[in-house]
Each structure stands twice: as C-alpha cells, then as structure tokens.
Chains A and B, each alone.
Chain A
Amino acid sequence: MKRQALTTTLIAYAFLAPALVLMGLFTFYPVFYGSYLGFTDYTVADLASGEGPRWVGLKNLEFVLGDPLFQTGLLNSLKYLLVVPVLQIASLAVAVLVNQKLPLMAFFRVGYYIPVVTSISLAAVMWEWIFQKEGFLNWSLQLLNLMNAEGRFNWLLNEHTALWAIMLVTFWRGFGYYMVLYLAGLQSIPAELEEAATLDGATAWQRFWLIIVPLMRPTLLLCSLLSTIAALRVLEEIIVFTGGSGGPLNSTYTALLYVYNKSWGNMLNANFGVAGAAGLLLALVGFALSYLNFRLTREERSER
C-alpha cells in the first residue's frame, strides 16, 4: 500500500511537471526577481558587459517617486479608472436591454460581443481613422450641429482629449464582455419583482436604479474589481495609439508605460532597476485598490 502511495505521488508530479516548471520559470521567478531588481542598479550596459545587478537599497524607489514622469503616469492611470463606473453601469444597462423577451436579442448580443474579440491593434487602426481631424467622429458632430468646420481637431493629438478618446476605445472593447457576465447574474432576479414594480407605475429608469442595480451589487462589485485592475494596468492601448510615446505632452503617459519605457520599450536606455521599482509601486497601488474593493464586498456580505 505504501508503494502504491509513492507511485501515485510520482505520477501526480510527473503530470504537474510541465505546468509547474513553466509557471516557476515564467511567472514566479520573474515576479520575485523583478521585485529584487527594483532594489538594484542594473542597466542594459551591465547586461551587455555581463555585470550582475548591484544592491542599492531604496535608491530606485526614491528616484521613481520623485520622477515627474512617473507621477504623471500614476495620475493618468488613476484617471483611467474613471472608465470603470461608466463601463460597468452601461454594461449592466445593455444586459438588461438584451435580456428582454423580444425577437432578435441573440443577434444583438453577438453583435455587441464582436469588439471583445477584436485585437487592440486592429482597434487602433480603425479608431484612429475615426478620431482624425477629417474623421467620422468630427463629421458626425458637425452633422448634429455640435461642431463647425473650423472647430475640428484630431482627438488623439489634443492633450485634453487624447486620454478620453483612448478610454472610449477601452469602453468599446469592454462593454460586450461585461454584458455577458451581467446577463448571467440577471437570470437570478425573479421576473415577478420587475412586473410588480411596473404595475406600481415604476418607470424603466426607476426599475433599473431601484431594483436591478441593488440586486446586482455583488456582480457589479466583482466586475468593478476586474475592471479596476485592468484599467490601472493600461498599457497596450497607449502603445498602439501613441507608439509608446504617451503623447501628446505626456497626457496619455501611464504608470505601466513608464515601466515599459524604462525597460524593453526603450531598449538602448533600459534601466531594469528603475523599471522594477516602478512596477513594485504600481503593484502596491493595485493591492490597495483590491483591498478597498474587498472591504466593500465584505461589508456587503455581512449586511445580508
């Protein structure tokens, strides 16, 4: 029987080996070694000459915290979080809309999901044409008399609108995804509840805010957490729309872009110590926000 147990253990670890080796090498090791690099001096020149990282303590963290570019980046990353509430409420509203028992709803759901399966690089190609000075967005605004021909501008080249324009694309690629998550949650709301409210004369607007939103709070908070973490880590969007510059005038420079541009985004000047320190700081902010969200959900659970 003992032998049998040993064999089972060996077999178990043999099956687990590929996953454990790969995760160890490409997930655990880089997170810990990357954090360690944050406390060392290690540049691309050291790498080329075969020198190892040199321990410098908190020097990089101090440098990063005092670097105006990182401060701008962190501020823009936090500004990017504004997309979260809009995205979540809108996705829930869209889910309610396509959850009606009317013909063609499956068709609309599939249509809304198409942006989710679109690559960010394709989104950048298509939306850049829309945001051009002569692009579709300005043309539509002119058509609605909200803009005149002289007032036209490129939304991605204006430091007041660039970040918002990119947030719109994040919204576009995200609402179908969260719609599906909310659709699953909506199944648990009894139809009688809404019917009763309708009979009592509640408008669709009131039913949404007074019945659906409170009942969907657990799902809303979970999706908000997922969405917050993703928004704080925004990087790909910025690279594809600005070529990694974070322009115009650093108005789209985000915290993770700082990490990228201090490492492989700007290979010839890569400083892995500074990049690692900035990554650590960003991770701390992420943990803090997750903790906040966790506290909110826990209060929610204890109330019930």
Chain B
Amino acid sequence: MKPVSPQDAARLRARATLRKGLHIALSYALLLAILGFAIFPFLWTLAISITDKQASGISIYDFPKSLFPPAVTLGNFYEVITKLSLGKYFLNSVIITALTVAGTLVVSALAAYPLARLQFPGRGLVFGAIVSTLVLPTEIAFIVNVLTLRDLGLLGTYAGVVLPLIATAFGIFLMRQAYLAIPGTLMEAARMDGASELQILWRVMIPLSVPSLTALGIFTLVGTWNAFFWPSVALLTNDELLPMSVAILKLKGQFNYDVFNVAAGAMIMMIPVLVVFFLAQRFFMRGLEGAVKG
C-alpha cells in the first residue's frame, strides 16, 4: 500500500465532509417534499375553511392565491354549525365513539383475563375461535349484520352501530399480553387474602395494565371517529344519528354545495383526531398492529 501524504489525507477528508454535507442536504430536501405530499391536503383545506368568501372573486382554484387567503374569517365554521346543523352530527360522532371505546375496553379487559390467567376446560378452543376471526372473510359480514340488527330492532340506533364493533381479537390479545406480563406472585398474594377473581381483575390486573388500556382506547377512538362504511350501513334507515364521517359526504353530495362550509366541516372533524394523535403519538409510533390499511 502507498503511504498517504498529509495533503492527500486533508483533501480526502474535505471531500468526505462535502459528500456528507451533500447527503444531508439531499435528505432534508426529500423529507420536506414527502412532508408536503403528506400534509398539503390539510393545509389547503385549512386555507379554504378560513377564506372570507364575501370578498369578491374568490375561487378555491385560483392558485397560488387560494393557498394564502387574502381575507380571513371564522364565518364558515359558524355557518356550517348553525345552518347545516353540523353540531348534531358532531354529537353523534362523540356518542358513537364514546360507547365504542367504553364497550371495547370492558369486553376486552374481561375476556382477556381468563385467557391469560385461568385454567379451565375449553380454553384452547375459545382461544382458537378468537384467532380465527382474523382470517374469516369478515368483509361480507355486513350483509347479514344488517338483517340481524333489523330482527333485534336495533337497526338505525346507536346500539346497532356499536355492538358489532366492540368484541375484537385485537383488543382481547392486547389485554391478554398486558395481563401475562404481570407477575403471578401478585395474584397469589391477593388470592391468599381471599380476593375473588373479579376483585383481582379490578384491583390488581386493571391498575397494572393502564398503558395497554390507554393504547387500546386511543386506537379504538381514532378508528371509530374516522369509520365510514359500517356506520353508513347500520344507519341506512336513520339519517338523524349519522356521525360526521358520513354526514360530511352527504353535505358535499348536495347540489350546489358550498366548498368553504364543507372545508370548515372537514376541519371540525379533523381537529379532535389531530389533538388526540399529537398527545398520544408515542402509542402510534411504536408500531402496534392497529387497523390494517391498504
């Protein structure tokens, strides 16, 4: 090998530094471009929602002016709530989401306990049945579920939307994992003290599983708030109870719809999700297998 002179070494080092700097600059350029792709639709919708449409000659397609509204107002938000009764649909979303989250937490926390901690005949069978829901072709279940809800008199009610959603393999397995991580000695101690299984669940398991319960609650909350297909089918016969996710498209489907009001409605629907997401981002960024996306 040829010895490297000090000058050569310095030149090589300089070149390496330059290359590294170029690489970093290129990385950030790419990162920013992708960020633009990811959030541009929101930025534009936000701009439309606060545009003062009374100011003459405003078109949402007048680029780049429409991205930077010359006159700003909150009037569109006021209009969409008062004239188009978005408040009603917002409340429906809140009720459906709250019931689904509460139901999922209770059902999962209860069902996971015997699967994780009790020995009983049929345990393997029950476990297998719950696993099998992951591979069953559930995409056709909606056909029959509407018939079932009709027979139960639940079609077009909040309960009809919520009940089919709350028993999920995902929720039960998440809680089971949490219970399995709790040391068995704690349970034994509680049993020695004469605690019942329900007391053990409530006083020992649940308090020690708060992180998993929170994660399950947040995933369910975001998923339910955003859900479109099932509520639109389960509430086929009752427009009054539609959540915002379905109502916003009805609003947009109306003849001669007002883009500014629709944009304001979209923002009203998005903001709660964004707040929850920013507060709980670590749950999402940890890569838990949540709802599967295309």
Chain B 119-145 against A: per-residue CB contact (8 Å), 1 yes, 0 no?
Answer: 111010010011001011111111111
- Residue in A18, A25, A97, A127 whose CB lies within 8 Å of B110: A18
Q: Distance in Å from the Cβ of A203 to the closest Cβ of chain B?
A: 10
Within 8 A of A (CB), among B166-215: 166-167, 172, 197-198, 201
Q: Distance in Å from the Cβ of B99 to the closest Cβ of chain A?
A: 13
Looking at A55-63, A189-197, A231-239, A295-303, the stretch in contact with chain B turns out to be A231-239
Is A173 a contact partner of B137 (Cβ separation < 8 A)?
no
A135 to B59: give the CA distance in the assembly, Å: 11
- CB-nearest residue of chain B relative to A27? B133
Is B284 a contact partner of A180 (Cβ separation < 8 A)?
yes
Q: Distance in Å from the Cβ of A16 to the closest Cβ of chain B?
A: 5
- CB-nearest residue of chain A relative to B252? A125
Is A8 a contact partner of B118 (Cβ separation < 8 A)?
yes
Is B294 a contact partner of A113 (Cβ separation < 8 A)?
no
A134 to B138: give the CA distance in the assembly, Å: 40
Is B228 a contact partner of A119 (Cβ separation < 8 A)?
yes
Is A114 a contact partner of B110 (Cβ separation < 8 A)?
no
Is B123 a contact partner of A121 (Cβ separation < 8 A)?
no
Nearest 6 CB-CB pairs, A to B? Answer: A279-B140, A283-B137, A30-B144, A119-B226, A12-B114, A19-B111
Q: A111-B38, A230-B293, A231-B294 are in contact. Are A125 and B273 (CB under 8 A)?
A: no
Is B141 a contact partner of A112 (Cβ separation < 8 A)?
no
With a 10 A CB-CB cut-off, give which of B31, B106, B141, B201 has the most chain A CB atoms: B31
Is A126 a contact partner of B143 (Cβ separation < 8 A)?
no
Q: Is A212's beta carbon under 8 Å from chain B?
A: no
Q: A27-B138, A121-B246 are in contact. Are A47 and B147 (CB under 8 A)?
A: yes
Q: Distance in Å from the Cβ of B131 to the closest Cβ of chain A?
A: 11
Chain B residues with Cβ under 8 A from A22's Cβ?
107, 163-164, 166-167
Looking at A31-39, A64-72, A155-163, the stretch in contact with chain B turns out to be A31-39
Within 8 A of B (CB), among A1-47: 5, 8-9, 11-13, 15-16, 18-20, 22-23, 25-31, 33-35, 37, 47
Q: Is B249's beta carbon under 8 Å from chain A?
A: yes
A104 to B28: give the CA distance in the assembly, Å: 10
Q: Is B113's beta carbon under 8 Å from chain A?
A: yes
Is B118 a contact partner of A12 (Cβ separation < 8 A)?
yes
Q: Is B287's beta carbon under 8 Å from chain A?
A: yes
Is A97 a contact partner of B31 (Cβ separation < 8 A)?
yes
- CB-nearest residue of chain A relative to B253? A243
- CB-nearest residue of chain B relative to A167? B294
Chain B residues with Cβ under 8 A from A118's Cβ?
42, 226, 270, 273
Summarize B's interface: helix, strand, loop or mixed: helix
Q: Distance in Å from the Cβ of B291 to the closest Cβ of chain A?
A: 9
Summarize A's interface: helix, strand, loop or mixed: helix
A11 to B115: give the CA distance in the assembly, Å: 12
Q: Is A229's beta carbon under 8 Å from chain B?
A: yes
Is A122 a contact partner of B248 (Cβ separation < 8 A)?
yes
Chain A residues with Cβ under 8 A from B107's Cβ?
18-19, 22
- CB-nearest residue of chain B relative to A171? B294
Q: Is B292's beta carbon under 8 Å from chain A?
A: yes
Is A113 a contact partner of B284 (Cβ separation < 8 A)?
yes
The size bracket of the interface on B is: 35 or more
What count of chain A residues pass the 8 Å CB interface test? 101
Chain B residues with Cβ under 8 A from A226's Cβ?
292
Within 8 A of B (CB), among A101-141: 102, 104, 106, 108-127, 129-130, 132, 134-136, 139
A94 to B203: give the CA distance in the assembly, Å: 44
- Residue in A8, A136, A282 whose CB lies within 8 Å of B63: A136
Q: Is A259's beta carbon under 8 Å from chain B?
A: yes
With a 10 A CB-CB cut-off, give which of B140, B172, B263, B266 has the most chain A CB atoms: B140
Instruction: Other than A18-B167, A264-B142, give 11 A-B pairs with Cβ distance below 8 A.
Output: A11-B114, A19-B172, A30-B141, A31-B136, A98-B31, A113-B284, A119-B273, A139-B63, A235-B139, A267-B236, A282-B140
Q: Is A181's beta carbon under 8 Å from chain B?
A: yes
Chain B residues with Cβ under 8 A from A13's Cβ?
114, 120
Chain A residues with Cβ under 8 A from B60's Cβ?
129
Looking at B6-14, B76-84, B274-282, the stretch in contact with chain A turns out to be B274-282
A83 to B23: give the CA distance in the assembly, Å: 29
Is A110 a contact partner of B285 (Cβ separation < 8 A)?
yes
